[in-house]
């Protein structure tokens, strides 16, 4: 097992577009949750190449409670491992950043979303762009310089010019990574229930291309559908997901993957306080596993090695896949070259369609 994901579901406020598993933060709940997490982490055998604290908003925990979780994690991180945490810009105070560095955090993901006040208001965010720049400064001053910013695009009435300016503004900051996500409105989100509509596919595609061009001019390269990095700063934790590697998961609703298959932890908070993470495994067929392999690996610009596919699924399945792939190869969406299968730039933009053809 090379990676560990820890889900902290609490948020100081609920964003209207968000459909992730989250709970409004109450200090008593946070204290009990952190204590249980620390207990579970301490009981895990072995060390991990990457550890990621996600949410929710992990940084909304009281510092003493968060420190318990960080301390437990630090004992399970391999030397040279990647130790990440995500949080909202306004939460990365100088005091917090010093504590994060003390416990070995060496990568942070900041939910900045936009530099445009109008866009932040549309998203229901309580921070400003200045909060994001202060977070970066505080993290770097504490010695944490591997930094990601999240960027959202394709919001209602957002122009291509505004999106491009956002991307350039972010890329000029002292960061190493940027994740670009179009606004997806699930039915369970506040905006989804209000009937707010997503931008059409052409608008999303054009805005993404504007972001890509802007970032590439600033020295960032795309290595995954939504991810851009300076050379050598690709997110190792997420690469393990996309390469279909195993990962352990702790906390309510967290998803993991081991030799038994994919699982998801139960979501009941009170049950978690009493019993900890309870895994429910998916009933996966070989076809399910094959589709998951394609779904994850083809998100990567580099795709996957033919030899790895054959090792996992055999020569016969490779022959079937090769025949299915021909249509998208002819359309310029897929390529097979030097022993690897990967989407072209156009294919990454139409990944859902490519996968349907391959499934």
**Per-residue pLDDT tens digits for 116-174:** 988 888 888 888 999 999 999 999 999 999 999 999 998 887 889 999 999 999 999 99
Domain coordinates in residue numbering, the chain: 3-241, 299-359
DSSP H or E segment with residue 130: helix 129-141
The tens digit of pLDDT for each residue in 45-76 reads: 999 999 999 988 999 999 999 999 999 999 99
Q: Which long-range contacts (CB under 8 A, 24 or more apart) does 213-219 make?
A: 213/164, 214/164, 214/167, 214/168, 214/171, 215/167, 215/171, 215/178, 218/168, 218/171, 218/172, 219/171
> Three-state DSSP class for 190?
helix
Buried residues in 175-198 as b, exposed as e (16+ CB within 10 A): bbbbbbebbebeeebebbeeebeb
* pLDDT, tens only, 158-204: 889 999 999 999 999 999 999 999 887 655 555 655 556 667 888 88
Q: How far apart are CA 91 and CA 111, in angstroms?
A: 10
Q: Is 113 exposed, middle or buried (0-12, 13-18, 19+ CB in 10 A)?
A: buried
| Statement: residue 237 has pLDDT above 60 | yes
| Closest C-alpha among 142, 150, 159 to residue 207 | 159
Q: What is the pLDDT of residue 122?
A: 84
Kindly tell me if the per-residue pLDDT of 10 is higher than 80: yes
Enclosing H/E stretch for 152: strand 146-153
CA 50 to CA 34: how far, in whole Å? 20
CATH class assigned to 3-241: alpha beta
- What's the confidence (pLDDT) of residue 44? 93
In the predicted model, what is the mean pLDDT of residues 97-101?
Answer: 97
What SS3 class is residue 288?
Answer: helix
Q: How far apart are CA 50 and CA 245, in angstroms?
A: 12
Separation of CA 34 from chain center: 22
Does the structure show a pLDDT above 70 at 13? no
Mark out the alpha helices in 178-314 (DSSP H runs).
Answer: 190-194, 201-217, 236-242, 269-275, 286-297, 306-313
State pTM to two decimals.
0.91
Poorest-pLDDT segment among 21-30, 67-76, 296-305: 21-30
């Amino acid at each position: 097992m090379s990676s560990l994901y820890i889900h902290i579901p609490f948020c100081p406020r609920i964003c209207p577009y968000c459909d992730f598993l989250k709970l409004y933060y109450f200090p008593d709940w946070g204290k009990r949750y952190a204590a249980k997490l620390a207990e579970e982490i301490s009981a895990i055998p072995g060390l991990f190449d990457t550890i990621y604290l996600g949410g929710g908003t992990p940084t909304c925990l009281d510092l003493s409670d968060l420190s318990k979780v960080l301390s437990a994690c630090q004992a399970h991180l391999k030397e040279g491992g990647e130790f990440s945490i995500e949080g909202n810009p306004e939460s990365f105070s100088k005091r917090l950043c010093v504590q994060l560095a003390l416990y070995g955090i060496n990568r942070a993901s900041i939910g900045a979303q936009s530099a445009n006040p109008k866009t932040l208001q549309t998203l229901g965010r309580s921070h400003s762009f200045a909060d994001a720049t202060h977070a970066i400064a505080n993290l770097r001053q504490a010695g944490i310089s591997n930094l990601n910013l999240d960027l959202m695009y394709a919001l209602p009435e957002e122009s291509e010019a505004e999106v491009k300016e956002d991307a350039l503004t972010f890329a000029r900051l002292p960061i190493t990574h940027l994740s670009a996500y179009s606004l997806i409105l699930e039915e369970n989100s506040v905006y989804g229930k209000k009937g707010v509509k997503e931008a059409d596919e052409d608008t999303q595609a054009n805005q993404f291309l504007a972001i890509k061009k802007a970032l590439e001019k600033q020295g960032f390269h795309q290595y995954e559908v939504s991810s851009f990095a300076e050379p050598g700063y690709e997110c190792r934790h997420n690469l393990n997901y996309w390469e279909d590697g195993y990962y352990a998961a702790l906390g309510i609703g967290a998803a993991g993957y081991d030799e038994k298959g994919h699982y998801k932890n139960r979501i009941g908070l009170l049950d978690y306080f009493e019993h900890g993470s309870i895994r429910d495994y998916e009933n996966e067929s070989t076809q399910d596993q094959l589709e998951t392999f394609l779904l994850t690996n083809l998100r990567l610009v580099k795709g996957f090695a033919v030899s790895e596919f054959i090792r996992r699924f055999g020569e016969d399945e490779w022959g079937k896949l090769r025949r299915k792939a021909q249509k998208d190869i002819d359309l310029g969406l897929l390529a097979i070259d030097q022993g690897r299968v990967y989407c072209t730039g156009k294919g990454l933009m139409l990944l859902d369609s490519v996968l349907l053809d391959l499934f």
